Amino acid sequence: MRIGLAGTGRIGAFHAATLAGLDPVDSIVVYDLLPGVARATADAVGGSVAPSIEALLAADLDGFVITTGTHTHGELIRAGLAAGIPTFCEKPVAGDVTSSIELAEVAADTDVPVHIGFQRRFDAGYQRLREAVQGGELGWIHTVRAATHDQSPPPAAYIPTSGGLFRDCSVHDFDILRFVTGREVVSVYGVGANKGEPFFTEGGDVDTAAAVLTLDDGTLASVTATRYNGAGHDVRMEVHGSAGAMAVGLDDSYALTSAEPGVQFPPGPRHWSFMERFLPAYQRELAAFVDVAAGRIPSPCTVSDGLQAARVAEACTLSRERGRPVELSEIPGPP
Ligand SMILES: NC(=O)c1ccc[n+]([C@@H]2O[C@H](COP(=O)([O-])OP(=O)(O)OC[C@H]3O[C@@H](n4cnc5c(N)ncnc54)[C@H](O)[C@@H]3O)[C@@H](O)[C@H]2O)c1
C-alpha cells in the first residue's frame, strides 16, 4: 500500500516511522510546508517527498495521514475526502466546534472513511477498563478520575495554534471517557491557571487546568491536565464503582511516589513522553488505519466521535473563560 502523510513535525515524523514498519505499507510519500523537514522524514523512512499538497493527493495513494497543526485539519480532511482517499487525521478534528460540525456533515455524506487519531482507544489498559466498566465488573460507577500530565511543555510556537489546553490535551480524556463508560457528558465546570512560562498567558492559554464533568447517568468525573509534571509523563484513569475500582496507568513507571514509610512502588523508570508511553497504542492505531484504508474494518473513531470530544473541550474552555458551569446543550452539535 502507498500512504501519503502531510505534516512531518513531532508526531508526523513518528507516525511515518511507525507506518514504514507495517507489513502492508510498501511506500510512503510525505509533504510539509517546510521542505527540509519533509526531506529529513522521507530519508529516515525510505520514502519520497511530494512538492505540494496537490501532488501528494495525486500520488495514487491508498491512504492519507494528516499530522499537520490543528488549524489545518479541517481543510486537509476535506481535501482527502474530495480526492476519495481513506483519511486518518490526528486529534482534534478541527480547531473549533463549528468546523467540526461541518466536517461531520461532509463525512456523513461520503463512503470514504475518516479515522480520527485518539490512540488511547488502542491502549491495552483502556480496553481492559472499558470491558470491566461496560461488562458490569465494577458495579454501578460513581466516580472517574482522569489525568493527562505532560512532563514538559511543547515549543512556545505550538501554543497559539493548539486550541488551548482543554482542546489540545484534555480532549484525549474526554474521548476516552466516552469510550470507557459508553456515556455522554451533560455538564462541565472548568478552571485553569498559569504558574509557568508567560507564553501560555500571551497565547490566551493556561498551563494547568481542571474540570468537573457530570455524565448522563449521573457519574461524576474529574479531569486534570498540566504541561509541567516534573515527576514524569502521567496519563491515568481511575474508575470507582459500587463493586470495585480499576485504574489505567498504575504501572511500574507511574509518575508518583508514595509518602508512606517503606513503600517502594513504583520501581520506575518514569514515563517521559506520550510517544514512549503510548508506542504500542500508536502502532495498533496505525495498523487499524491500514485496515480501514483497505476496506477491512470501519473507522474505529469517526468524525462524529471527534466532534463529541470537541464539544466537551469547548464547554470546558467556555466555562473557564466565563467562570460558570456550562451545559453541553449550550454547545452546538448533536444532543
Ligand atoms: N495523538 C497524540 O498523542 C498527539 C500528539 C502530538 C500531537 N498531536 C496532534 O498532531 C498535530 C501536529 O502536532 P505536532 O506536535 O506534530 O506539531 P508540529 O508543529 O511539530 O508539526 C506540524 C508540522 O506540520 C507542518 N504543516 C503545517 N501546516 C501544513 C500544511 N498545510 N501542509 C503541510 N504541512 C504543514 C509544519 O510545518 C510542521 O512541520 C496537532 O494537531 C496535535 O494536536 C497528537
The tally of domains found in the chain comes to 2
Distance CA 68, CA 58 (A): 18
So what's the pLDDT on residue 95? Answer: 87
* Grid cell 479541517 in the structure block, residue: 74
Note the helical H segments in 135-208: 165, 171-181, 198-202
Percentage of residues of the chain with pLDDT beyond 70: 100
In a domain, 147, yes or no: yes
Do 202 and 317 lie in one domain? The reply is: yes
> Considering only CA atoms, which of 63, 67, 76 is closest in space to residue 27?
63
Predicted TM-score (pTM) above 0.85: yes
Distance CA 312, CA 185 (A): 7
Gap from CA of 331 to ligand 1 centroid (Å): 26
Task: Measure Cα distances from 50 to 24, 34, 88, 139 in Å.
Answer: 21, 12, 18, 53
In a domain, 335, yes or no: no
**33 Cβ closer than 6 Å to some ligand 1 atom:** yes
So what's the pLDDT on residue 334? Answer: 85
Considering only CA atoms, which residue is closest to atom 15 of ligand 1?
10
The CATH number of the domain holding residue 151 is 3.30.360.10
**67 Cβ closer than 6 Å to some ligand 1 atom:** yes
Task: Measure Cα distances from 275 to 153, 235, 278, 281 in Å.
Answer: 14, 12, 6, 10
Read off the pLDDT of each residue in 127-138 and give the average, rounded to a whole number: 98
Do 81 and 47 lie in one domain? The reply is: yes
Do 90 and 142 lie in one domain? The reply is: no
Gap from CA of 295 to ligand 1 centroid (Å): 26
Do 58 and 71 lie in one domain? The reply is: yes
Gap from CA of 7 to ligand 1 centroid (Å): 6
Q: Does residue 212 sit in helix, strand or coil?
A: strand
- State pLDDT tens for residues 280-321: 999 999 999 999 999 999 999 999 999 999 999 999 999 999
> Considering only CA atoms, which of 240, 244, 268 is closest in space to residue 255?
268
- State pLDDT tens for residues 30-83: 999 999 999 999 999 999 999 999 999 999 999 999 999 999 999 999 999 999
Distance CA 47, CA 61 (A): 13
Considering only CA atoms, which residue is closest to atom 5 of ligand 1?
11
User: Domain range holding 27?
Assistant: 2-119+283-302
pLDDT band at 161 (very low <50, low <70, confident <90, very high): confident
Distance CA 99, CA 224 (A): 26
Q: Say if CB 322 and CB 314 are below 8 A apart.
A: no
In a domain, 247, yes or no: yes
The CATH number of the domain holding residue 14 is 3.40.50.720
Do 129 and 96 lie in one domain? The reply is: no
In a domain, 108, yes or no: yes
Do 202 and 56 lie in one domain? The reply is: no
